[in-house]
Amino acid sequence: MGKSGRQTRSLFGGILSINHFMQNREHVGKRLMTTSRVQAQVGLVHFIASTWKSLRYGLGLFSHLCDNYRAIYTMDNTKFRIVSAQTAEDIATARDLFTAYVAWLNIDLGFQDFQSELDFLPGKYGAPYGDLLLAYSIENKPLGCVAVRPLDDSKQLCEMKRLYVSPEARGMGLGKALVAAIVQRAKDLGYKEMRLDTLPSRMQGAIVLYTRVGFVETPPYYETPMNETVFLALDLTR
């Protein structure tokens, strides 16, 4: 079980412990009243200290799990972490990963105004309607990225973009983790449907992953000079 799993189990354990304390507080109070003054004072000190420790631990776990979406995925606590790009350093890392993605794709994305996208990151991938996720190794080396942005003004329809895993990080489940993370992020942002475009000649593995997640083929939603482009959609309400 990964670190996040252990922390979640600990959190529920802490909640159950606090609930048990609340249910038995009246019984404990009555018991203290029947003992001597000194025994009661000592018992009360231990009781308060133990209760505060449980509360503080539980609050600490809540704080970790709600840390502004910074650490949203771990795997075996040894391979990688995925975070939302928030700092200038994160944006610079995203720019490098986007550039590596296009180099690997070996396709001119001028028709998507890619250079402008690089120059103005995070752009549409920024808050409040988008997000840009980065994967790092435990040594803080960039491993991959993925992003989500709105497709229209309805704020119901979004697009997954720039899924990329560096060559040295392939085969460790990172692509699957990035897709799962960005789909969940889109749901959190309130979107009802996610779309994407992909190229079978270069992204066979990604297409298999998309279909396993639940993406299905959909009509083209923009014009592209790449005739082989496949368009996919995912219902986020399920």
pLDDT for residue 151: 96
Architecture of domain 73-235 in this structure: 3-Layer(aba) Sandwich (3.40)
| Percent of the chain predicted with pLDDT > 70 | 67
- Give the pLDDT confidence of 116-165 residue by residue, as tens digits: 999 999 999 999 999 999 999 989 999 999 999 999 998 899 999 999 99
CB-neighbour burial class of residue 36 (10 A; exposed 0-12, middle 13-18, buried 19+) = exposed
Q: Say how far apart CA 233 and CA 157 lie, in whole Å.
A: 10
**Domain map of the chain by residue range?**
3-65, 73-235
Q: Does residue 124 contact residue 116 with C-beta atoms inside 8 Å? A: no
> Mean pLDDT over residues 99-120, rounded?
91
